[in-house]
Amino acid sequence: LPGTTYGTVAYHSSGLIYAAGSVVAYAQAVNVGDVVGIGYYPSNGNIFFTLNGNFVQKLSGEILHKQRFFPHLGSDGECVLEVNFGMNHFLF
């Protein structure tokens, strides 16, 4: 799953936040109908997570060792996905 291997980060539905294979933070678990947001600032390498529009966690570029990231989704069930690569204002 995303986050459990080098070069990936993830907010798992259990609430565990992973970076490059390690748990780096604990957050609220995700429930059906929740919206998880993931933002990336290429200028400093920071990545942040939101849940239902509320800030959850920031991962600094230093923790992530300035890796290159590519978005992907891991799911073991049905889900709805909307992607915004900067064309629209980040809402979540």
pLDDT in tens, the chain (92 residues): 788 887 788 899 899 998 888 899 999 999 888 888 888 887 888 889 999 989 999 988 766 666 666 667 777 788 877 777 777 776 66
Neighbouring C-beta atoms of residue 59, cutoff 10 Å: 20
Cβ(34)–Cβ(13) below 8 Å: no
φ and ψ at 50, to 5 degrees? -130, 160
Q: Which residue ranges make up each domain of the chain?
A: 1-92
Close Cβ partners of 55 (under 8 Å, ≥ 6 residues apart): 48, 49
